[in-house]
Structure 1
Amino acid sequence: MGKYFGTDGFRGEANVTLTVEHAFKVGRFLGWYYGQEHKPRIVIGKDTRRSSYMFEYALVAGLTASGADAYLLHVTTTPSVSYVVRTDEFDCGIMISASHNPFYDNGIKVINGMGCKLEAEVEAKIEAYIDGESGELPLATKENIGRTVDYVAGRNRYIGYLISLATRSFKNYRIGLDCSNGSSSAIAKSVFDALGAKTYVINNEPNGTNINTNCGSTHIGVLQQYVKEKGLDVGFAYDGDADRCIAVDENGNVIDGDLILYVCGKYLKEQGKLKNDTIVTTVMSNLGLYKACDKAGIHYEKTAVGDKYVYENMTQNGHCLGGEQSGHIIFSKHATTGDGILTSLMIMEVLTEKKQTLGTLAGEVKIYPQLLKNVRVADKKTARENPEVQKAVDQVAEALGDEGRILVRESGTEPLIRVMVEAAEDALCEKYVDQVVDVMKAQGLVVE
């Protein structure tokens, strides 16, 4: 990770750790970087946060000052930006979003010309420019100054693309959608309506400050209750920029990214379409997923947390399905990044083809109890590498053996150490997580 760019772009509180000056400089650098041999075309999307407009205008000012033309998708999803960059041959794309974070945070995520997250070496060059380490960049003049172009047509084509992926009508399905008052509010309902579903939508009235507030994939209880109250067949919840999807089955049970990987992976294997009979997971995936995959003859690989790492593994090894427990799922046949709405459609393909409920299909996986505690620290690296902390982690790992595991890692976006334990019982999870956290406190590493 760099100074500003973490695992998911440049993220922070708007006008505190991520300012308009930062956004302007990101625009200035990208406009110059991609414009050394031709006039660059760069497409921008944003989520529904109040500050997204401010950052959009700052980025546009920087881009056009460096000579780039900025194409505006307006409020849209992160995967739609990836799709438009790829299909319309833009030099790069920018998504303004802090994903699942509170409304007062925001972020700048840069997508390269192949529709993937920007290379780390280019992010490092942007950081050097922001900090004044690489000198000033020339300003475009006269006819070389860039312009803005309304490009809502690109978002509409993405909607059409999603609709085209469905293999069957959803006519007899009652489907609930929680749009998190975010990007999917502008897209999801129209897709499911077009496919014939009886669509029930909640949290699709964004006002600039209600994105992710007690709704969406990070507050799944809202959709669970809604599905049960309405007697729906299935529900799908997205995060702020709709690159994640968490599902709810007909009984109101949560179907997280691990279960989605299993349901879709097993179906693709049965169809002979799961390349290498392998799914790609992260180190956060549940032990129960791996045991179920072993039984189903599905191989798996593990990467660091972050869908960029999942996708790198997929492309390097020719795998077609991968994702995270948090709901970032990548179907490489159709997309280069996690796409919440696309994931919903792929789940619906399994349900319609197999004529079984989501609860039945996911019920083959016995999920191990898992507890994750986020510990706020002064310095992530110091806390993680502390010898006493490492000793405590090793002791827990030895005690759990093959019937559980412990994972301690740094957050990619916040000053947190994440301590996660899986075990046969909730009480054991609590015991071993607290054992490590107590050592961190004793070492003076925790910020209360």
Structure 2
Amino acid sequence: MGIFKPCDIRGVYNRELTERDARNLGLAAGSYIHAQTVLVAGDVRLSTPALKAALCNGLTAAGCRVIDAGILTTPAFNFAVRHAGTAAGIMVTASHNPPEYNGFKIVFAGRPVQPAELTLLEQIITGRDFVTGRGSYRRDETWLSRYRNYLTGHFKPGRLKVVLDCGNGACSLIAPHVFRSLGYQVTELYCTPDGRFPNRPPNPALPENLRDLRRRVVAEDAAAGIAYDGDGDRVALVDESGGVVANDRLLAMLARHLLSRGKGAIVYDSKCSLIVPEEISRHGGTPLMARSGHTFVQSRFLSSHAILAGELSGHFFWREPGFDDGLFSSLVLSELLAESGTTLSRLNDELPHYRITPDIRLPFAGDPGEIMDGVLKKLSRFPVSTLDGVRVEFPDCWGMIRPSVTEPILTFRFEGKTGERLSFIISLMLSALPEELRAKAEKALAGA
């Protein structure tokens, strides 16, 4: 696979992604927006300064007026693009990927870049169909403090004891300050920016990356532990006993909290538990399922004018400020916890507990379209959706088989309200697979 992915541009620095690629992207993006103003920022990765400089060089060579906002979290970058009113924004980051990676997140006209636009940018680069001009460059590194002030003005003071695990990522520059400014008792864990990410990988969605946070929460007798990814748009929570709270369960809690204040639509990704749409409906909201993936969830969130959206990966999107933000989400959750007068583990226990599998990822050879067509044909007499792969859903169970958009892998996920219904949906879905792939899936599920 190349560096152009369905939602962004990403690759291993100096092997798949170089300064030349960054400059070409600047030329292509500048050509696409007809040399307007672009805000650029980057995360704390070691390769970010060189890539950002090359990107800015390409943008100015295409005639763009470039505003370099320095080092930001991705949410602070989104805030800056929105409030600066620029035609585009490009953030140099590889988000939750390992330190050897880097990449670009792009915003056009206040919305995330679409897959078709990424294809067009790639075509402009391949054909070297660039415009040229005399652009300009200036630095404006006030945006981090502006966003910090926005957050401290938006939220109520709090007194809870929390442990913040910034994973040496960009949130180190803002999260401890914001929480302390609001009155929280903060214990810092890995809150010094370091683009090598020496203490844990930058993906908090994996429980094994939260071991130190879990221990520290218990040792500090804290109300919660909060972990952020490398660029600050994902969040994970640990309860007071050191247990990791699944992100779809956090989404259900947030839905209940927001819907008690006003009704509206809430978007959830296709891999979330049934508790999410059930909880949204129970509290008077409108549940809207979206295809799994950042761009797909965000696009549904924006087009439906939803009050909230959430992904299993830890992205939570808010009507205010208008995008996904790990720090904003953790502050809402902290307010929710304080107002509830109870513990995070008890709030979690108030929700139903169904039987759900983790993602089962199986490499495969061949045409994914052919496999999925065969699965769809065999399951067509059941209630089936093709929003995201092939999904069969009953009131008390569901199963999904979907091909990865970035690698030759099939992903499986199943849920049942009881063990019996979970077994039923697994058996039904796997029966539609070719024999060899079915055997591999059964083996993987047995070990899950």
Instruction: Tell me the TM-score range normalised by the shorter chain.
Output: 0.7 to 0.9
Q: Secondary structure at the match of 2:112?
A: coil
Give TM-score scaled by structure 2 length: 0.85
How far does residue 153 in structure 1 lie from its aligned partner after superposition? 0.4
Q: Secondary structure at the match of 2:44?
A: coil
How far does residue 410 in structure 1 lie from its aligned partner after superposition? 2.6
Write the mapping of 1:334-413 to structure 2, written as runs, cut at 5 A: 334-335=321-322, 337-368=323-354, 369-378=356-365, 381-382=368-369, 384-385=371-372, 387=374, 391=378, 402-413=395-406
Contact 1:66 1:146 in 2 (8 A): no
Change (3 A) 1:184 1:378: farther
Contact 2:399 2:415 in 1 (8 A): yes
Change (3 A) 1:380 1:361: farther
Q: Identity rate of aligned residues, in percent?
A: 26
Specify which of 213, 217, 236 is matched with residue 246 of structure 1: 236
CA distance in 1, matches of 2:79, 2:238: 27
CA distance in 1, matches of 2:435, 2:168: 38
Contact 2:59 2:135 in 1 (8 A): no
Specify which of 161, 168, 175 is matched with residue 150 of structure 2: 161
CA distance in 1, matches of 2:360, 2:152: 39
Contact 2:25 2:121 in 1 (8 A): yes
Deviation by residue 1:318-357 (Cα, 9 ceiling, x = unmatched): 321111121111111222x210001011112222333333
How far does residue 297 in structure 1 lie from its aligned partner after superposition? 4.2
Change (3 A) 1:197 1:238: same
CA distance in 2, matches of 1:262, 1:119: 28
How far does residue 392 in structure 1 lie from its aligned partner after superposition? 8.8
Contact 1:371 1:429 in 2 (8 A): no
CA distance in 2, matches of 1:230, 1:184: 21
In structure 2, what is the equivalent of residue 27 of structure 1?
26
1:119 corresponds to which letter in structure 2?
Q
Write the mapping of 1:18-97 to structure 2, written as runs, cut at 5 A: 18-36=17-35, 40-97=36-93
CA distance in 1, matches of 2:198, 2:108: 26
In structure 1, what is the equivalent of residue 11 of structure 2?
12
Write the mapping of 1:194-209 to structure 2, written as runs, cut at 5 A: 194-209=181-196
2:140 corresponds to which letter in structure 1?
Y
Contact 2:75 2:233 in 1 (8 A): yes
How far does residue 400 in structure 1 lie from its aligned partner after superposition? 8.8
Please identify, of 177-186 and 349-358, the stretch whose mean Cα deviation from structure 2 is larger: 349-358
How far does residue 221 in structure 1 lie from its aligned partner after superposition? 3.3
In structure 1, what is the equivalent of residue 161 of structure 2?
174
Structure 1, unpaired ranges of 5+: 444-448
1:152 corresponds to which letter in structure 2?
E
Change (3 A) 1:270 1:47: same
Pairing 1:439–2:426 present: no
Contact 1:389 1:439 in 2 (8 A): no
Specify which of 255, 270, 281 is matched with residue 260 of structure 2: 270
In structure 2, what is the equivalent of residue 446 of structure 1?
none
Contact 1:375 1:418 in 2 (8 A): yes
Contact 2:41 2:68 in 1 (8 A): yes
Please identify, of 349-358 and 299-308, the stretch whose mean Cα deviation from structure 2 is larger: 349-358
Change (3 A) 1:437 1:403: farther
In structure 2, what is the equivalent of residue 255 of structure 1?
245
Deviation by residue 1:245-283 (Cα, 9 ceiling, x = unmatched): 111122222223322222121122222x232xx321111
How far does residue 179 in structure 1 lie from its aligned partner after superposition? 0.9
Structure 2, unpaired ranges of 5+: 385-390, 441-448
How far does residue 35 in structure 1 lie from its aligned partner after superposition? 3.6
Contact 2:259 2:283 in 1 (8 A): no
In structure 2, what is the equivalent of residue 226 of structure 1?
216
Contact 1:393 1:406 in 2 (8 A): no
Q: Secondary structure at the match of 1:6?
A: coil
How far does residue 88 in structure 1 lie from its aligned partner after superposition? 0.9
Deviation by residue 1:34-66 (Cα, 9 ceiling, x = unmatched): 345xxx321122222222222112201111211
Contact 2:167 2:200 in 1 (8 A): yes
CA distance in 1, matches of 2:234, 2:221: 24
Q: Secondary structure at the match of 2:142?
A: helix
How far does residue 202 in structure 1 lie from its aligned partner after superposition? 1.3
1:60 corresponds to which letter in structure 2?
C
Write the mapping of 1:422-437 to structure 2, written as runs, cut at 5 A: 422-423=415-416, 424-425=418-419, 428=423
Specify which of 299, 303, 307 is matched with residue 290 of structure 2: 303
Contact 2:252 2:275 in 1 (8 A): no
Change (3 A) 1:400 1:258: closer
Q: Secondary structure at the match of 2:99?
A: coil
Change (3 A) 1:255 1:127: same
Change (3 A) 1:399 1:53: closer
How far does residue 385 in structure 1 lie from its aligned partner after superposition? 2.7
Change (3 A) 1:26 1:234: same
Pairing 1:122–2:121 present: no
CA distance in 1, matches of 2:332, 2:71: 24
2:333 corresponds to which letter in structure 1?
I
1:59 corresponds to which letter in structure 2?
L
Q: Give the alignment's Cα RMSD to 1 decimal.
A: 3.2
Pairing 1:110–2:106 present: yes
How far does residue 82 in structure 1 lie from its aligned partner after superposition? 1.0
Q: Secondary structure at the match of 1:284?
A: coil
Q: Secondary structure at the match of 1:48?
A: coil
Contact 2:160 2:338 in 1 (8 A): no
CA distance in 1, matches of 2:45, 2:380: 39
Q: Secondary structure at the match of 2:47?
A: helix
Deviation by residue 1:256-313 (Cα, 9 ceiling, x = unmatched): 3322222121122222x232xx321111111233344444444311010123322332
Contact 1:384 1:410 in 2 (8 A): no
Change (3 A) 1:269 1:317: same
Specify which of 316, 327, 337 is matched with residue 329 of structure 1: 316
